[in-house]
Structure 1
C-alpha cells in the first residue's frame, strides 16, 4: 500500500546527561519515595557523572587518583574487600518536563545500569520488582507521574553485581564475576588490572522520550541483495523488508499508518491497534531499483540510506524512528581448500583482515567522538572487521554507527569466556570446571538480555556475525535457545558461530585452542608456518613511544628498562611496567643496539612493532584462499594504559603497529617473504590489475642503489601471485651491515601504487648498519590545505642516505604537546634518495583552534619542529 510521508516531526527525545547528584546509600536514611520528591534536600550530595560509574564520579570529584596512572589503582579500595555496600549509591536528577496533553505519552529509558536498581520518579516507584541485569534496557511509561508544574525528580539506587569476584590475578580473577550477566574483565585479565567498583553505576544513556498515543519499538530492517555484485556500475534490484512493534498506550483503539520512505518511494500499511496493546507490523517487501550498496572497507563505498519510520494517526506523526539503512547481504560458505568458513558480502568473497576489540574505555566513559576515532583507526589499518571480545559487552549503537560509516564488519561475541566459564583447569578459580560451565547463575536473565540487545543493534549493516562466546560455548540450554530459537526469530540473516574458535568456522587441524600464536615471532613464521585457517586471535607486542609512556608512567619507573636474560629467556621488569602488563620484546630490541634509556627503548620498539604487524598481515595474505579465509589480530586496542597488543594507546596516540598494519594490509600490495626471499603481490580487490611495473632495488646504509629487477606485472582479482626470489642478492648485499630492500608497483603513468621498504639484518642477525647510519638530509615542508587538513612533504636529495623511519606528529605550536587524536595518511615513513613523499594529516579544528606545528623525528634524523604555512 502506498502512502504519503508526513513531514511533521512529533517525537522528541533528549538525554539526561548532566546535573546528576549521588550519595552512598549507607549514608542515606530516607527511602526512594522521599528522595525522588523535589522538596527533598540534596545539598549534601556530590556531583555525579551519568552516564558513568561510581568510580568515574569519584575520580571526577577528585576522591580517588587516576587508576590508569602508575600504581594508583592499588590505592583504590576493591569491592571484594570492602563489600558491596561500599559501592552502592543513590543517583538523583532534577529535570523539566511538562505533563503531556491528551493521549500523548512520556517515557523514561535507561539503556544500561550495572547491576541492579530501583527507579523512583516524583515519589513513585516505577519498577514492580528489583531490576537486574547490566545489559537489559529499561523503559517506563511515566506519563501519569509527570509533575503538573513540570518540575520532576528521578532517583535511582544502584547495587553492584551480586557476586563481584576476587581479583586474585587470574583471568577474570577467581572466575566468579561470570556468575552475573555482566563484564568479566573487571576482575582483571592479562592485559588489565581490576576495576575496583566492577563498573557499578548508571553506565549508559538515560533519555526522556515524548510520543503520541502510539510508539514504535524495535524496528527491524533486512536487505536482500541476490547474486554476485560489483561495487561499480548499475545494480540489479535489492529487496527491503521492514517490520516494527507498535504500542498503543491509550485507553482507546487507534487507527493509523506505519510508513517509511527509501530513495523517495513510500511504503505503508494501515493498522488498527487495540487499547493498551502491542502489535508487530510487517510492511510489504519493497524492491529498490539500482541500489547503492554498502561494502566493507577496501572493497567499495559504505552508502547509507536515511530512512524515517513513522506511525501516523489523525494526520499527525505519533512516533518516528530514524534509521540509516545499508543495503548489503552477508552469506557464508565452507571453503574446502582452506577448511574454514568464507565470508561473502553481496556475493563477493571477502578475505577477513580483522582486529580484536575489548571495549572503548574500561571505566565505560564512552563518547561518540572516541568511538569514531577508534573505528577510524581500524579503517586506516586497512582492516575490514572488528571482533568484539566476549569478556566485555555487546557494543553500543554509537560503535556500530562508526563501523557502518567506515566499513568495518563486526564479529560480536556474546558474554562468556573459556577462562571464566570453565574450559580449562585453573588453580586461580574458586569453583571447579563443571560448576563454572553453568555460569551465569540466572540463565533466564541471560536470554532475556540477549533478546533485548539483539533488537538494539540488529539494523546496523556492519553487524556480520554473532558468536556464542570467547573460546567456549554458553551452557547447553542457552546455546540451544540462541541457535535454534532466538537468532532464527530475531536476526536470521547473520552467521551464528557457537564459539570464537569453533571448528564450524575453522578446522582445528593443529590441536590447541584454535588460535594464536601470541607474542613476538620470527617474521618467517607468519609466512611459512600454517596456523588455523580462520584464526580468531593471533598477535604480538604494542608498546607506544616515549610520549605515550609519559602519560601514565612516573619518570623513575620509565627509565627502569626491562632486562632480558638470554641465558634463561626471562625478562626482569620494573613494578610499574609489570603492573601495566608489559609483554617482552626479549632480545629483538637488542639487535638494534642495547637501549640507552626509555626514549631509545621505545624508538627501537617501534621498529619491532612495524615489522611484526606488517609481517603478520603479509604472511596471512600470502596464503589467502590457499591456507586462510581470515585472520583477526589479538588485539588492536586497549581500554586502559596497557603495554601490549595495541595499535594506538589509551589516549588515542598511534604507534608503529598501526602503520605496519596499514602497509601490510594494503588492498593491492607488493611484499617479500623473509624466509625464501620471494617477491609477491597480494590483490585483495575485485579487479584485475594489469600493465604494472614491478621494481626491486637494494640500498646500502649510505643510500647507494642497486637494481635487482624491473619487470611488467599483472595480477588477477582476489589472489596472491609469486614473482621471483631476491634472497641471493639480498643476502649478499646485507652480509656486512644489513641493507634496505625497496619494492614498488608502478602504473603505466609511472605513479607508485604500492611501495614497501624492508630493513634487513646482517649475516649475524644484527642491524649493525642501522646503528651507524649517516644523518638524514631530508627536507620537510608543511602547509595547510583546508581547515583541519595539513599536507607534509618530505624530500630526500639525490645521493643522500635513505631517510629512515620518520615519525610525524601534530603538536601545539607553543609548548610542543602532541595533539590527540590526529589521523595520518601514513607514518613512520622512509624516503628514498631522490624521492618525495606527502603525508596528509587531519584533525578536529573545533578542539584545536590555533594553527599547530609538525614535529618530526626519524631513525637518522634528530627531532625538529616544522611550522605550517597557512
Structure 2
C-alpha cells in the first residue's frame, strides 16, 4: 500500500533581497505549512494586523516581495519503487528545488502539483544520515511580477478594478474588491507530502452518481499512473458503495478503467427542507495479486439535479430541479471567509454554513473571484443539505485566452470538476461572474478590438470540460447570462440576472419593477456590528467619515449611496449611532423588498441569491454576517424571508394583495386576519379571509378596501396575520409617518443555563425595534433582529454571553425607527 509522509514541521520563511518594507534582509522566520506569508509575519510580530485601522497600507509591500520557504527532508528508507513530492496548492508563482536540483515551477494557485523525487531519495539514502538530509526550497515570485509579465505578453485587457488579477491564476479578491482589502498573499497554502508507491497508483477517481427508475448507479472513472516495472502488470479496481462491491480487471498497460456499481432503491439526498441527506461510503481500491496498492475514499449521495431552461410565455426559465422537484432557491453568495484563506478551518466553515441553514438558506453560490473551497466546505454542505452553485474562477474582467493561461485554466478546471464530483451538494457549474455582461455593457468590446477576453472559456472550454469530466451536473456559461447572444446577457426575462441598478442608482422599492427568472445577485450595504467596528478601528470619535470608517468602506461612493438610500426614507440621522442603526434597517428593508416580491412570483421567479452571506474582514458591506462573525440584523431577517411559509403584502396592477408563500410539501390552510390599525393601536377595521395554499405554491388574497389605509396616511397601517406570522404595511415612507414618541418597559430574567431573557413591552407602536446585543458586551449575542410591536404587545429576546444583566443596560441598547425619525426631525439632521 502507498505510504504517505506529511511535510508539516521544520519549515522556515526567508525574505531575500533588500528586505522591502523594513523586514530584516535574509531573516528566517518559523513558517506554518499550510499557511501564507502574512500569517507567518503576523505570528512573528513582524507586521501589525492589516485588518485594523489603515494597517492594510503598511502591508502592501508584502505582495510585491519574493519569498522563500525552506525545510530539510530527512533521508527516508523505503522499499517502494517511486517517491513523489506532492503540493496540493502553492500560492502562486513558485520554483521548487530539492538538493539543488530544480524540480519544476508553478503558476496556478487553484491546482495541485506532483514531482518525481525517486532519484533524490535514492541519492540521499546513498549519502547516509551523516549528510543531514536534503534541502527543499520553494521560492515564490511576487504575483505582481508574474501578472505584469503575462500582461506584457498578451496585451492589456479591461478590468473593473485597478489590479492585474486576470493575468494570473490566483484568488482575484486578494488584489482587493469593493468589500475586501488588497492583501496579495504567497505561500504553501495547502498540504504538502511525500508519497511512496510501487507498481501503480490511483491518479484520479471521478464517481458519476445517477439515479434511474429507483436504482442508484455509480460509474467510477479511474485513471492510473504506473511505474516502469508495473507497466505490464494486470491489476484490479474494486469499487464499494455502501454494501455493494464490484471488481473490474485492468489489462496490462492500461491506465484508464470504468467500474460500475448499483444500489437498489437508495435513500435519496435532498436539500434541507425537502428531505434527509443520507450519505454512502464510496471506496475505490487498486489491487494487485497479493495486496492493495492504493485506496480512495469519499462519501456520496444519490440524487438527480437538472436545470430547467424551458422557454415559456415569460421568457426562458432558470429552475433547479432536484429529484424531479422544482426548487425555489433560497440562496446566498459566498466569498472567501478570510482574505487570508489558510485561517479558515473545518470548524469555521461549519459555523458559517450552519448559520446559513439556520437562516433558511438552501443554496450557496461560491463566487468566481475567490477559490474552489476545501473539501471541508463541501462536506459540510453535503451533511447540512445546502445546494452548491460553483463558479469557475473568473470575475469582473476580460481574461486572455492565450498561453500560458489557457493550458493552466484547462488543467485547473479538469482537476476541480473531478475533485468536487463526489459531493451531492454540488448542483451547478457556472462559467464566470459578470464577464459576459461586462463585454456587452462595460465598454469592453471597443477596447478589446478583437482580442480574446474569455468567451472561448465560458462558451467552449469549460462547457466541454464539464461534459467530459462530470456530465451528471448542469453547466451555465455565466452569471448573469440569458442563455445566448440572442438576448442581452442581463435580460431578466431569460436565465440569471444581477440586480445592481437599485443599490447603485435608485430606491429599493424599484425591485418590484421586474420579475427576473432567477436573481443571482442583489443586495444593500450596511456597516458591521458596532463591536466589530470598535475592535477594528481606533477612530476617536467614530463617525461616518472618520479615517478608519472610510478606509473600511471599499465600494465606489459607498457612503454616498448609503446616505442617498437613507434620505429617501428618513430624515438625516442625528448622530453616528442613529446612522449605524438606520443603515442596518435600510439593508433589511431593501433585501426584504426584493425577496418578498420575487418569492411571491414563484414559479416565474425560481430563486434569489443575496449578495452576500459573509465578509472576509471587518468592513461596511452587503454581508449578513460581518468579518468578526457577528450576525447583522439582515441575518435575522433572512430567517423570516427564507422560512418555508411567508406572508407578504404586494402591490399588483389591481391593488394590494396578501401573498401567502408555501414552500412546504403540505397544504397550508387557515384564516388570514386583515386589520387596519391606527397609530395608537386601535383596530379601525378587521376582515377574516379563509385560504388554502397548495404545496410549493403561492396563494394571493385581494385585500378588501375597508382594511386599506389611505395611500397618503401617516396615521394608519395594515397588518396581516396568519397564525404566528404577521406582516405590516405602512402606506407612506418613514419620514412622512406620524410616529409617536416610543415608550416601553424592559424586564430581564436569567435562565439556569445563563441565558438572559429580555422582554420588551410596548406602550406605543414601536417600529423595527432592535436590541444591539454587542453594545452590552462584545461577546454578547441576541436571537432576534428587527421586530415591530403594536401597543400592548411584547417580545422576548434571548441574550447570551451577558455577565451583568440589567433592565437599564438593555434599554440603552434598544433602538427603534420612532426615535430615529423623531430625533432626526427635531435635530434638523445634526
Q: Structure 1 length as normaliser, TM-score?
A: 0.78
Q: Supply the distance in 2 between the matched residues of 1:360 and 1:64 (Cα, whole angstroms).
A: 21
Q: Is the contact between residue 857 and residue 863 of structure 1 (CA under 8 Å) also seen in structure 2?
A: no
Give the length in aligned residue pairs.
764
Partner residue in 1 for 2:518: 534
> Tell me, which stretches of 5 or more residues in structure 2 are unaligned?
20-24, 437-452, 815-830
**How far 1:210 moved relative to its partner?**
5.3
C-alpha distance after superposition, 1:667-694 (max 9, x if no partner):
2212222685421111223x13243333
Shift of 1:400: 1.8
Mapping of residues 285-434 of structure 1, within 5 Å:
286-314=261-289, 316-335=291-310, 336-338=312-314, 339-365=316-342, 366-417=344-395, 419-421=396-398
Cα 1:620–1:579 change in 2 (3 A) is closer
Aligned to 1:500: 479
Pairwise CA distance, 1:854: 9.0
8 Å contact 1:246–1:280 — kept in the other structure? yes
Distance in 1 (alpha carbons) for counterparts of 2:355 and 2:180: 22
Provide the secondary structure at the position in 2 that maps to 1:625: coil
1:62 matched to 2:45? The reply is yes
How far apart in 1 are the matches of 2:186 and 2:31? 13
Q: Is the 8 A contact 1:796 1:834 kept in 2?
A: no
Contact 1:413 1:469 in 2 (8 A): yes
- Structure whose residues are more often helix by fraction: 2
Q: CA deviation at 1:357?
A: 2.3
Which residue of structure 1 aligns with residue 722 of structure 2? 745
Alignment partners' CA distance in 2, 1:69 and 1:183: 22
Q: Is the 8 A contact 1:806 1:857 kept in 2?
A: no
**Which secondary structure does the structure 1 equivalent of 2:331 belong to?**
strand
1:530 CA drift (Å): 0.8
CA deviations on 1:373-399 (whole Å, 9 max, x unpaired) are: 222232233222222222333333222
Could you say which residue in structure 2 is the equivalent of 1:282?
A: 258
Partner of 1:567: none
Report the CA distance between 1:312 and its aligned residue. 3.4
On the 8 A contact 1:261/1:308 being kept in 2, the answer is: yes
> For residues 188 and 158 of structure 1, what CA distance do their matches in structure 2 show?
20
Aligned to 1:189: 177
Shift of residue 164 of structure 1? 4.0
Residue 178 of structure 1: how far off its partner (Å):
1.2
Long gaps (5+) in structure 1: 1-9, 29-41, 228-235, 422-435, 563-571, 747-751, 785-789, 843-850, 865-870
Aligned to 1:35: none
1:775 corresponds to which of 740, 744, 759: 744
Q: Work out whether residues 776 and 801 of structure 1, in 8 Å CA contact, stay in contact via their aligned partners in 2.
A: no
Pairing 1:135–2:123 present: no
Q: What is the distance in 1 between the residues matched to 2:614 and 2:295?
A: 36
How far, CA to CA, are the matches of 1:102 and 1:745 in structure 2? 70
Cα-Cα RMSD: 4.0
Alpha-carbon separation, structure 2, partners of 1:135 and 1:763: 48
CA contact (8 A) 1:117 1:158 kept: yes
Query: Which residue in 2 is equivalent to 1:460?
Result: 423
Q: In the TM superposition, what is the alpha-carbon distance from 1:622 to its structure 2 partner?
A: 0.8
Match of 2:510 among 520, 525, 530: 525
Aligned position for 1:230: none
Structure 1 distance, partners of 2:728, 2:435, is: 39
For residues 279-305 of structure 1, what are the alpha-carbon distances to aligned partners after superposition, in whole Å with 9 as ceiling and x for unaligned? Answer: 222112x33223122122332222222
Q: 1:819-858, aligned counterparts within 5 Å?
A: 826-829=784-787, 853=803
Would you say 1:218 and 2:204 are equivalent positions?
yes
Cα deviation, residue 119, structure 1: 1.8
Give the deviation of 1:618 after TM superposition. Answer: 1.0
Counterpart CA distance in 2 for 1:681 and 1:390 is 35
Measured after TM superposition, the shift of residue 22 of structure 1 is: 0.7
Within 2, Cα distance between the matches of 1:580 and 1:854?
A: 38
Match of 2:823 in 1: none
- 1:205 Cα deviation after fit: 2.7
Q: Alpha-carbon deviation of 1:603?
A: 2.1
1:154 corresponds in structure 2 to 136
For each residue in 1:697-719, what CA deviation from the matched residue of structure 2 results, as whole angstroms up to 9, or x when unmatched?
56666666667334433211222
Q: Tell me the secondary structure at the aligned position of residue 251 of structure 1.
A: coil
Superposed displacement of residue 367, structure 1: 1.8
2:683 counterpart of 1:709? no
1:778·1:803 contact (CA, 8 Å) conserved in 2?
no
Matches of 2:392 and 2:798, distance apart in 1? 38
Q: Quote the offset at 1:155 in angstroms.
A: 2.0
Aligned CA distance change for structure 1 residues 727 and 774 (closer, same or farther; 3 Å): farther
Tell me the SS of whatever aligns to 1:283. strand
C-alpha change, 1:257 and 1:666, in structure 2 (3 Å) is same
Shift of 1:482: 1.9
Quick one: structure 1 residues 522 and 678, their matched pair in 2 at CA, closer, same or farther if it must change by over 3 Å?
A: farther
Residue 670 (structure 2) pairs with residue 670 (structure 1): no
Q: Quick one: structure 1 residues 614 and 511, their matched pair in 2 at CA, closer, same or farther if it must change by over 3 Å?
A: closer
CA contact (8 A) 1:704 1:799 kept: no
Q: In 2, distance between residues paired with 1:96 and 1:730?
A: 81
The offset of 1:47, in angstroms, is 1.9
Give the equivalent residue in structure 2 for 1:553: 537
